[in-house]
Amino acid sequence: MSNNRYKIILWLFFFIPVVVFSQEEKEKGEYALVAFVGGGISFFQGHAGTPGSLNAVVNRKAPIGTVRLMWYPDQLLRVGVESGWVKFYSYKIDDNGVKSSTQITGTPILVVFSMTFLNHLNVYGGTGTYLVQSHLDYNGEVKATVASLGWMLAAAYDIPLSQNVGITSEAKWLWASGPKNGSISLQLHLRWKFLRW
Give the CA angle between residues 4, 10, 16 to the nearest 5°: 125
Cα–Cα distance for residue pair 33/196, rounded to 1 Å: 7
Reported pTM: 0.80
Cα–Cα distance for residue pair 180/184, rounded to 1 Å: 13
Nearest to 86 by CA among 111, 114, 109: 109
The domain locations on the chain are: 1-28, 31-196
Among 73-82, 119-128, 136-145, name the one with the lowest average pLDDT. 136-145
Q: Does the structure show a pLDDT above 90 at 190?
A: yes
3-state secondary structure 139-158: CCEEEEEEEEEEEEEEEEEE
The overall average pLDDT reported for the chain is 86
Q: Which CATH class is domain 31-196?
A: mainly beta
Q: Does the structure show a pLDDT above 90 at 24?
A: no
Confidence band, pLDDT 50/70/90 cuts, at residue 23 = very low
Query: What pLDDT score does 14 carry?
Result: 52
Query: What pLDDT score does 12 carry?
Result: 46
| C-alpha count within 13 angstroms, C-beta hemisphere, residue 44 | 23
Percent of the chain with pLDDT over 90: 62
